[in-house]
Chains A and B, each alone.
Chain A
Amino acid sequence: MSIRHRSVVFAAALLVAAACAPATSPGGASATATPSASAGGAASTLVWYADVSDLISLDPAVAYEFSGVLLAHNVYETLVKFEGADLSTIKPSLAQSWDIKDSGASWDVTFKLKSGGKFASGNALSADDVVYSFQRAIKLNKSPAFLFTDIAQLKAESIKATDPSTVVVSLPKTASPQGFLSILTFTIGGIVDSKDVKAKETGGDSGSGYLLDHSSGSGPYVVDHWTKNSEVLLKSNPNYSGTKPPLGGVLVKHVPESTNQQFALERGDADLARNLGAQQIAALQGKPGVATTSGNSLQLVYVGMNVTVKPLDNVNVREALRTAVDYDGIVKDLLKGNAKKVQGIVPAGLAGYNESTPFQADVAKAQSLMKQANQDKVTLELLVPTGPAPGGVAWADLAAKLQADWAKIGVTVNIKQTTQADLLTTYRAQKGQLVMILWGPDFPDPDANVGPFTDYKAKSIAYRNGWDDKIADKGREAALITDTSKRAAAYKDITDYVLHNGPYVILYQPTEPFGLRSNVKGFVWSPMDWTDFASISK
């Protein structure tokens, strides 16, 4: 080796050595951290590990994916909200009060804003911002816009500011006022700073290019940066009018591999991990410095029974299939407890939830029902998606369990596994026989489930199973009831009816497991698929 070559190698080695020398414990974020000014350092930042590959936009009028909704919820405030995990009572947020009035031709919902509301920019929050935000969501017409335009049947001119602190929204009499309030708790109801966003508009995009990866809200946090495929950093909003969040920042790190999430949690690099499987949760049990918890979701995993296919048109056959399933075995053995036994079409946590669970592997009763239907040997095809089902079990394993349960009553099931997109294409065209799939409501109101599950004309779940029943009329009526107790009673009747007559075997409602460091306090997971970062401390 020549002297020149040697000196180059030596210089390179020196440079690498100099770069690596101060490292003491590279595994620990805090050990090697050079706190960036924006992050505020590890001690005051919540490090959240999750698979955020679904993240498309942080704009409240655009975000409709899990990660986008989680982040936008913590950046934008809404007129009304649900608190914590309770989705049965709507609480004030930016609006201090609201009133629903039947004005004959429409429902007029009047919101009175709290005084002193302020955006992160320092601009005052007024009724004009509310009108702009709602009209902007309608104009942009992105994924969540149907909640305003189809469900609430809102038009841009339906939203008016009558004074700087009063907003009146007029809904057609065919829309549900309670449903509308529930929609407003979702991120599409997030209020943006109209002055700021208008200034950032380019090419008539209503500021959506800017709000894709910036924020302009009044919530406890603001978006510091989003590095695509890597991380999003939120930092606390200095102009937040509510209680100052205990943590100055939230770093959402994209870590798709669940074992990696588990390792990072145990080593203290992550404070919270979202996508842990049953194996990782089991591995964390009893480990020092870590804890596990779970949160409810609003999803339901179910089997649709196409009533246009014989003998599924017979209500006794459908009841027999429901009766024969070992729900407890699914929840305890297959899902390791990561689910709740729910058999109605409204999930636990929502108003209108029916606690009744009358079915549990009663083979004798199921056989008797088959006999009443004059059926002894039946062969059906069960369509199943590929991959894991909510709760951590493979769809294929769930299907095998059902196959075994139904074989006991003379029903032979041929399992056909396919991609979810392919399955949905078949299901939508009413071409399935038995179809196993999941459903999550579009907005936190019983109508978001009762409508699709009962209304054939809505061309959703009831249609896919060919079930055109008069109960749909009662569903439509219940949606419009403004008195909450009367509404709850109406939904009780409807869910009781569907429980025994509908074309569904509701298998379970999954829960979502989380791993967290023991020093993390105040974490509550909402079934809306978010948490309030501002209530978390460590």
Chain B
Amino acid sequence: MRFLGFLARRVVGIVAVMIGVSVITFAISHVIPADPAVAALGDHATADQITAFRAEYHLDRPLAEQYLTYVGGLLHGDLGRSIRTRRAVADDLADSFPATLELSFAALLAAIAVGIPSGVWSAVFRGRLPDFVVRLLALIGGSIPVFWLGLIVIGLGYYQLGWFPGGGRIDLFVDPPPTRTGLFVVDSLLTGDLTALRSSLLHLVLPALTLGYFSTALIARMTRSSMLEVLGQDYIRTARAKGLRERVVIFRHGLRNALIPTVTIIGLTFGSLLSGAVLTETIFSWPGLGRYATASAVSLDFPAVLGVTLLAAVVYPLANLAVDVAYYWLDPRTQRG
């Protein structure tokens, strides 16, 4: 019951965040000094066409009225119609979000799989060569621009070595798996399509590494510092004094306790992966939300920008919720309230 109450409070929080985000985004997107009608219709549009466009998108109404119209649509599940693609924003998001979700999950998995062991390794070998290597790589990961990294990764992994595909979600001449979730890897598994599975996994490697490098660095550094703190605790000394094997001391007694701050970082990282995928998606021709958001922002497509922002406003708190649930499992003290 305590857990359900906790969940209910978080859901109310998400709704509050969405309202706040919608107000702020709506206000910002409508006060920027450029005209969406001119941006959409271009140089050749007549004054009549611009007037008609404004009326169609309610741009000729007071801002408060525009907002209420928009919220009225939202309550009916209508996110509006994109100025750029002329499609329902909800349909556009449904097309592009699974691709970003898949890429972000892959990047996060890679970051966890590499980041946590590296952090542990670095802490255990503190001040020695492995520690130096991990810290150096983490420093590079934290400071390298994604766009540059992407070009290097694609230049090496695709252009020079030819080990991985250069872009897209699946090979040009391989049919995507039938849609179940929109995640190609999951859909390939569900439908038993091994050709599509192989292709979609290979296509994930380079963009996931690129997108996940920063998170890997972050997770490694956080794991290292919390491991160092934990390994200095009395109970670790006690565990060693009891004669437990070093592996058991480090992983069972050390890592589990050190993971709590790392989980926080993982949750925050997942949110930033979703929004940080813009450049990675552009470099790797990944048909995801980031590219949709960029194209929408450039063309002043405010219904689409609002849709993307609201989606992010849902995803971020959900990621935080997942972190809290993980806390609940990792740290029994939180279960006592």
Tell me the bound Cα distance from A404 to B57 in angstroms: 43
Q: Does B125 contact A (CB under 8 A)?
A: no
Give the CA-CA distance A186 to B57 in the complex, in Å: 29
Query: Of the 9-residue stretches B3-11, B17-25, B30-38, B320-328, which lies at the interface with chain A?
Result: B30-38
- Interface contact B47-A57, CB-CB below 8 Å: no
Quick one: which of B35, B173, B189 contacts A35, CB cutoff 8 A?
A: B173
Task: Report whether B174 and A33 are in contact in the complex, using a CB–CB cutoff of 8 Å.
Answer: yes
Tell whether, in the assembled complex, residue B198 and residue A428 are in contact, meaning their CB atoms are under 8 Å apart.
no
Q: Are A56 and B86 in contact (CB under 8 A)?
A: yes
- A439 at the A/B interface (Cβ < 8 Å)? yes
User: Is B86 touching A36 in the complex (CB atoms < 8 A)?
Assistant: no
State which residues 28-69 of B face A: CB under 8 Å.
33-36, 38-39, 42-44, 46-47, 49
Q: Which of B34, B201, B283, B288 contacts A260, CB < 8 Å?
A: B283
| B201 with A16: CB separation less than 8 A | yes
Bound together, the chains give a CA A266 to CA B92 distance in angstroms of 33
Task: State whether B173 touches A36 (Cβ < 8 A).
Answer: yes
B198 touching A22 by the CB < 8 A rule?
yes
User: How far apart sit A19 and B204, CA to CA, in the bound complex (Å)?
Assistant: 14
Question: In the complex the two chains form, what is the Cα distance from A93 to B307 in whole Å?
Answer: 45
- Look across to chain B and name the residue whose beta carbon is closest to the beta carbon of A142: B86
Which residue of chain B is the closest to A41 with respect to CB atoms? B173
A255 touches B285 (CB 8 A): yes
A284 to chain B minimum Cβ distance, whole angstroms, is 13
Interface string of A21-57 (1 = CB under 8 A from B): 1110111111011111001011001010000010011
Q: Residue B195 at the A interface, CB < 8 A?
A: yes
B267 sits at the interface (CB 8 A): no
Query: Once the chains are docked, how many angstroms separate the CA of A460 from the CA of B198?
Result: 55
Chain A residues near B44: list those with CB within 8 A.
Answer: 442, 460
Taking CB atoms, residues of chain A closer than 8 Å to B175 are: 34, 36
Which residues of B147-162 are within 8 A (CB) of A? 151, 154-155, 158-159, 162
* A269 proximal to B (CB < 8 A): yes
Does B249 touch A at the CB level, under 8 Å?
no
Complex Cα–Cα for A264 and B162 (A): 11
Cβ-based interface call for B295 (8 A): yes
Query: A25-B162, A229-B291 in contact; A422/B33 too (CB < 8 A)?
Result: yes
Say whether B35 contacts A33, CB under 8 Å. no
Of the residues B49, B92, B173, B201, contact of A42 by C-beta under 8 Å = B173
CB of B282 closer than 8 Å to a CB of A: yes
Given contacts A53-B295, A56-B86, A256-B282, contact A228 B95 (CB under 8 A): yes
Confirm or deny: A259 has a beta carbon within 8 angstroms of a beta carbon on chain B: yes
B172 to A, closest residue via Cβ: A29
- Also in contact, A230 and B168, with CB within 8 A (given A53-B295, A254-B285, A256-B282): yes
Interface residues of A in 1-30 (CB under 8 A from B): 15-16, 18-23, 25-30
Shortest C-beta distance, A349 to chain B (Å), equals 19
Interface residues of B in 215-241 (CB under 8 A from A): none
User: What is the bound-complex CA distance between A313 and B288, given in angstroms?
Assistant: 51
Which positions 192-238 of chain A face chain B at CB distance < 8 Å?
Answer: 227-231
Complex Cα distance, B33 from A26, in Å, reads 47
A527 CB → nearest B CB, Å: 17
**Contact (A260, B167) CB under 8 Å given A19-B198, A25-B162:** yes
Q: Decide yes or no whether B284 CB sits under 8 A from chain A.
A: yes
B171 is an interface residue with CB less than 8 A from chain A: yes
Chain A residues near B169 (CB, 8 Å)?
230
Chain A positions within 8 Å of B159 at CB level: 27, 263, 266-267
Docked Cα-Cα span, A263 to B160, in Å, equals 9
A380 CB-CB contact with B under 8 Å: no
Is B197's CB within 8 Å of the partner chain A? yes
Say yes or no: A251 contacts B163, CB within 8 Å: no
Chain A residues whose CB sits within 8 angstroms of the CB of B201 once the complex forms: 16, 19-20
Q: Is B80 close to A, CB under 8 A? A: no
Q: Does B118 contact A (CB under 8 A)?
A: no
Chain A proximity mask over B185-229: 1 for CB below 8 Å, otherwise 0: 000110000110111011000000000000000000000000000
Number of interface residues of A (CB under 8 A): 60
B335 within 8 A of A: no
User: Which single residue of chain A is at the shortest CB-CB distance from B157?
Assistant: A27
Give the Cβ gap from A484 to chain B, nearest Cβ, in Å: 26
- Asked if A257 and B283 make an inter-chain contact with CB atoms under 8 angstroms apart, the answer reads yes
Min CB–CB distance A509 → chain B (angstroms): 17
A325 contacts partner chain B, Cβ-Cβ < 8 Å: no
Closest residue of A by beta carbon distance from B283: A257
Report if A459 contacts B (CB, 8 A): yes
* Chain B residues within an 8 Å CB radius of A498: none
**How far in angstroms is the closest Cβ of chain B from A460?**
8
Identify which of A19, A42, A146, A256 contacts B291 (C-beta below 8 A): A256
Q: Is B300 an interface residue (CB 8 A)?
A: yes
Shortest A423–chain B CB gap in Å is 9
Chain B residues in 8 Å Cβ range of A39: 172-173
B34 — which chain A residues lie within 8 A by C-beta? 419, 421-422, 425
Among A18, A26, A42, A254, the residue within 8 A (CB) of B162 is A26
A39 to B283, CA, bound (A): 25
Cβ-defined contact, B158 with A267, below 8 A? yes
- Contact at B282–A28, with CB atoms within 8 Å? no
Q: Are the C-beta atoms of B174 and A19 separated by less than 8 Å?
A: no
A26 touches B39 (CB 8 A): no
Question: Is A437 close to B, CB under 8 A?
Answer: yes
Asked if residues A253 and B285 are in contact (CB atoms below 8 Å), the reply is yes
Q: A96 within 8 Å of B by Cβ?
A: no
Q: Which of A150, A228, A269 contacts B172 (CB under 8 A)?
A: A269
CB distance A264 to B167 under 8 Å? yes
Q: How far is the CA of A26 from the CA of B201 in the complex (A)?
A: 11
> How near does chain B come to A8, taking the closest CB pair, in angstroms?
14
A420 within 8 A of B: yes
A22 to B199, CA, bound (A): 10
Query: Do B198 and A253 have beta carbons less than 8 Å apart?
Result: no
Contact call B173/A263, Cβ cutoff below 8 A: no
Tell me how far the C-beta of B276 lies from the nearest C-beta in chain A, rounded to whole angstroms: 17
Give which listed residue, B35, B47, B162, B176, contacts A267 with CB less than 8 A.
B162
CB-nearest residue of chain A relative to B84?
A: A56
Whether B287 sits at the interface, judged by CB under 8 Å, is yes
22 inter-chain pairs at a CB distance below 8 angstroms, sorted by A residue, are A18-B194, A26-B162, A26-B163, A26-B165, A27-B164, A32-B165, A32-B174, A33-B171, A33-B172, A34-B171, A56-B84, A228-B85, A229-B291, A251-B172, A256-B282, A260-B167, A260-B283, A263-B158, A264-B167, A419-B39, A421-B34, A422-B34
Taking A27-B162, A260-B284 as known contacts, 16 extra A-B pairs with beta carbons closer than 8 A to each other, sorted by chain A number, are A23-B202, A26-B202, A29-B171, A32-B174, A36-B174, A56-B86, A146-B49, A229-B95, A229-B96, A229-B288, A254-B285, A257-B284, A259-B155, A260-B285, A266-B159, A460-B44
A-B CB proximity, top 4 nearest: A229-B287, A421-B39, A27-B162, A33-B173
- Which residues of B come within 8 Å of A, CB atoms? 33-36, 38-39, 42-44, 46-47, 49, 84-86, 92, 95-96, 151, 154-155, 158-159, 162-169, 171-176, 188-189, 194-195, 197-199, 201-202, 282-285, 287-288, 291-292, 295, 300
